[in-house]
Amino acid sequence: MPNMGCCAGALFLAGAPRVALVFLWLFTDRLNLAFESFLMGLVGFILLPYTTTLYAAAYAPIGGVTGIGWIVVVAGLLLDIGSYSSGAYSGQRQYSTR
């Protein structure tokens, strides 16, 4: 039987950037400033939540994302890639042990 504490922790961490995006959308104007359309934000919410959250945080209304902001956005992209690849690795490992 799998460790349920680990699964609950993984589920919380997977949902954390999406929860942050919901809070940004409800309580600030950051997402409206950072993204030209609702569709771009929605696609980011579904596919790349870390990247979308960090892009919205790094976005400056006048200059956009510049300098160190791009490093922050790339870090979000690496987090997204890592979350997808670790899930695939763990699924492959679980499948091969059966």
Q: What is the pLDDT of residues 13-51, one digit of tens each?
A: 567 889 889 988 899 888 999 998 999 999 999 999 999
Q: Where are the domains of the chain?
A: 4-96
Instruction: Fill in the DSSP letter of residue 20.
Output: H
Confidence of residue 55 (pLDDT cuts 50, 70, 90): very high
Buried b (16+ CB within 10 A) or exposed e, 25-35: beeeebbeebb
